[in-house]
Amino acid sequence: MGAGIAGASVAFFAARDGHDVMVVDAGVERASDVPSALVNPVRGQSGRVDEGALEGMRLTWSLLDEVRSLGFDVPHERAGVRRPVPDERTRRKFEASLPSDLPHAWRAADEVRGLAAGWHSVLDIFEGGWLDGPAFVGALLRASGARVVRGFASDVRPTRVMVGEQAYRADVVVRCGGSLGTSGGTHRAGTMLLLDHAPCEVPLSFGVYAAPDERGGVLGSTFEAPTSEHVSSPPPLSSLAWLMGKAQGLLGDLSPRVTGTWTGTRLSTFVSGRQGDGTWSLTGLGSKGFLIGPLLARNLTSEVQESSLN
């Protein structure tokens, strides 16, 4: 249930394991429809690298290569991600977090095109990059051969799901619904300004991120206050003004023209594995869906397969 990056990845790996897969997809307000998703293992303003981040990043790129080899177009660039830092103290925090097997280099700030003046230095993460969220999710779904049923799932049981008045039976039910339709937990809205051309050649990220995308470029951030429910309203003008201010601090004067906005709400309360009601779950990936979502989906489907054999 759910056709974002978690659900599409579960469908892909479950089909690879020999299962017939059906995906229930509401088809609206998926956070995974982000037009330019960063694949970036070095997170936040402390530079942490979560467990599984490097393996997840490499699996994401491997899957992207696989679906492209099957003929599915997924706009992307694997030219790296650059993380500018404001001072020596922050650079030391980043350096303390970096694993030895992450290829990277530090650059002087004045060597990086598109970066505003005043930054201390820039971490260049060679294996990072950006990808088109809906194109990648769609490619995984189509490559899985899954049957897609449009609608909201209700009355979910371990071997049955209701969609409207129709009951669908299954051997295994996996919940991957994300924020939409989920009560409780932590929900965070993220906003992007869509631009007529890319503000930088390689994505730049610290507090806000700038990146190319298929149609031009984006400026994005997750800055709204957490809520306990899904938020579908557009961001207030004050939030857009905040985003523009942060973007100017990152990039200096902005030459691209803003052509629109995009907003998605993520669930950041992570749940994975078999649940007490007999269903399975993979949800709450927050902003790391494209970094670790496919990895967690592969692990979950392996767990489901092992459970079925036992």
Beta strands in 37-180 (DSSP E): 37-39, 76-77, 81-85, 104-108, 121-125, 129-131, 147-150, 153-157, 160-163, 166-169, 174-175
pLDDT over threshold 90, residue 27: no
Binning pLDDT at 50, 70 and 90, where does residue 20 land?
Answer: very high
Range of the domain at 51: 5-309
Binning pLDDT at 50, 70 and 90, where does residue 225 land?
Answer: confident
Dihedral angle over CA of 239, 53, 178, 189, nearest 10: 0
pLDDT over threshold 90, residue 217: yes
The number of angstroms, rounded, from the C-alpha of 233 to the middle of its chain's C-alpha atoms is 20
213: CB partners within 8 A, 6+ apart = 35, 36, 75, 130, 132, 194, 198
More confident residue, 27 or 272: 272
Q: How many domains does the chain have?
A: 1
Task: Name beta bridge partners: 41.
Answer: none
- CATH code (residue 33): 3.30.9.10
β-strand pairing of 166-169 with 204-206: unpaired
Binning pLDDT at 50, 70 and 90, where does residue 184 land?
Answer: confident
Provide mean pLDDT across the span 143-171.
94
255-274 burial, b at 16+ Cβ within 10 Å, e below that, comes to ebeeeebbbbbbbbebebeb
Binning pLDDT at 50, 70 and 90, where does residue 221 land?
Answer: confident
Model pTM above 0.75? yes
**Listed range (145-149, 251-255, 266-270) with the worst mean pLDDT:** 251-255
